[in-house]
Amino acid sequence: MVSATENSLRQNIIDGCLAMNAQGYNHGTSGNISHRLDGRMLITPTSTPYDDLKPELIASLALDKNDTIWDGPLAPSSEWRMHRDIMLARPEINAIVHLHSAFATVLSAKRITIPAAHYQIAQFGGDDIRCAEYAQYGTQALSDNALAALDNRTGCLLANHGMLAIGDSLEKALWLAVELEAQAHCYFHTLQIGGPILLTKEQIAPPPGANSNYGLRSS
């Protein structure tokens, strides 16, 4: 029997999907959201319109490389492997948002790394947002490439595909997804006027007394 806590978390995943579509950051059934729960991973099911989702339709998988059996009436997103591998490699991460948002996807199609055109890029753990090498969706290669691009980062582009944002909570991961699209939007438009004047690591570092969650990690 699903606990009230798990049922609430399942609904939060659905609400996140609906919010991303309503705000234009995603469309149709593209993209997916997952959340860690007691040694398992909850993730949106494959090829299911978000308006039709109910908590009981969210898929559940063990966070175990050797266990690929899922629970639920619907199969998990085709990107389940990427979500699972990130959670296994990054124990501090509890939620993952994958979107095909417009400007992030445009830059990913050009396989562009987003540099420090705006100081908020530091929210992703460094002075850039990397673009992972291309691999077909749902493959182990895509999972491996995403992990490499996310090293010491909380977001990345996926070449010719879209973006990933990861956080210690669903709220943080959703916020970072919106911020990553804002960074992509800013950088894309600066390229139309000759490119940005880039900020240094010192210029994007948090000022004294700033929130300790803000700022750079080591590269």
Question: Residue for token digits 């006027």?
Answer: 193
Instruction: Please list the alpha-helical segments (H only) found in 23-99.
Output: 80-89
Torsion of CA 69, 70, 71, 75, to 10 degrees: -130
d(CA 10, CA 66): 24
CA-atom Rg of the chain in angstroms: 17
Asked if 116 and 198 count as a contact pair (C-beta separation under 8 A), the reply is yes
Active-site positions read: 79
Asked if 82 and 97 count as a contact pair (C-beta separation under 8 A), the reply is no
Nearest to 33 by CA among 159, 185, 163: 163
